[in-house]
Amino acid sequence: MTVYRTRKGIPFFHDKTESEFQKDVYERYDEMVIRQSALHLADEFWYKYPFQSVIDFAEKHYPLERENNILELGCGVGRWIASLAQKYPKSNCWGIDYSYQMLKRAKEYWVDGKEITIDLSKRGLGVETVIGKKISNLNFGLAKAENLPFDDNSQDLILSSFLIDRLADPEKGLTEMFRVLNAGGKLIVVTPLNFDNAAHWKLYYPPSQIAILLEKIGFEILAWKEDIVVDEPLDGHGNNLHWNCLGFVVGKNRCM
């Protein structure tokens, strides 16, 4: 797929315009990048990893093979895909996101091994400095989940957390994931179903509607869990966002 430009080592597979940048809340450094950095890169703030329940659900379904193409969509600051890249050092791992600011933070921490200071003093939590890693089998690129820069049947494992309810067209995103997933591969999704679009609340509820959609696309459902809880900490007074998430693992049949 075309690379429109590269900024700070991050390829743009989507030609993101100035107006798209301005409309995108995830490009807001203070609000979004600092929050995501605190959540995923500085467990010191919380004495635990707030997204551990996502990992606990997913890791039972990780591949047995050591050499894989692994892709995370909506990777944010990159912690999940980085954990896979470290677990499978012979794999080729990509983190894809639509926000340049998220990807810049992900690359500086996980690939360039930089030291990062995260200031949560406005939330009563102080300042933490964390030192990044230099993971060589990990790449980050800007693209939309609905239009991926990967060949058909090219990915052995696709991951996504807190993304599909953000998509303008979740069906299009899931269909694109099906296209790039290899036969025998798996897609693992965890989502709070906290849709941006009013119509999607009706269209995809109850969650069995999503099961019907997945089967219509051609996926085979391998695991389904409707009670994954993520408590996203907000500040130093113990306030948090309590997310009730759906998790599913789907496969693409080898004989398709």
Ligand X SMILES: C[S@@+](CC[C@H](N)C(=O)[O-])C[C@H]1O[C@@H](n2cnc3c(N)ncnc32)[C@H](O)[C@@H]1O
Q: State the residues that interact with ligand X by CB under 6 A.
A: 26, 73-76, 97-99, 102, 144-146, 161-163, 166-167
| Coil/strand/helix, residue 203 | helix
Q: Give 146 or 156: the residue with its C-beta nearer to ligand X.
A: 146
| Coil/strand/helix, residue 159 | strand
Q: Give 17 or 64: the residue with its C-beta nearer to ligand X.
A: 17
Q: How far is the CB of 97 from ligand X (least distance, A)?
A: 5
Strands 240-251 and 220-233: antiparallel
Q: How far is the CB of 17 from ligand X (least distance, A)?
A: 15
Q: How far is the CB of 78 from ligand X (least distance, A)?
A: 9
CB 73 within 8 A of CB 158: yes
What backbone phi and psi angles, to 5 degrees, belong to 103?
A: -65, -35
Q: Give 56 or 215: the residue with its C-beta nearer to ligand X.
A: 56
What backbone phi and psi angles, to 5 degrees, belong to 58?
A: -80, -40
Distance CA 244, CA 188 (A): 17
Q: How far is the CB of 24 from ligand X (least distance, A)?
A: 7
Distance CA 208, CA 221 (A): 11
Q: Give 177 or 214: the residue with its C-beta nearer to ligand X.
A: 177
| Coil/strand/helix, residue 134 | coil
CB 25 within 8 A of CB 161: no
Q: How far is the CB of 164 from ligand X (least distance, A)?
A: 9
Q: How far is the CB of 169 from ligand X (least distance, A)?
A: 9
Q: Give 26 or 46: the residue with its C-beta nearer to ligand X.
A: 26
Q: Give 59 or 220: the residue with its C-beta nearer to ligand X.
A: 59
Q: Give 107 or 144: the residue with its C-beta nearer to ligand X.
A: 144
Q: How far is the CB of 53 from ligand X (least distance, A)?
A: 11
Could you tell me the two tokens for 96?
A: 């894809």
Query: Amino acid letter at 74?
Result: G
CB 218 within 8 A of CB 178: yes
Q: How many CB atoms lie within 10 A of CB 232?
A: 16
CA nearest neighbour of 250 among 215, 226, 216: 215
Could you tell me the two tokens for 238?
A: 């113990």
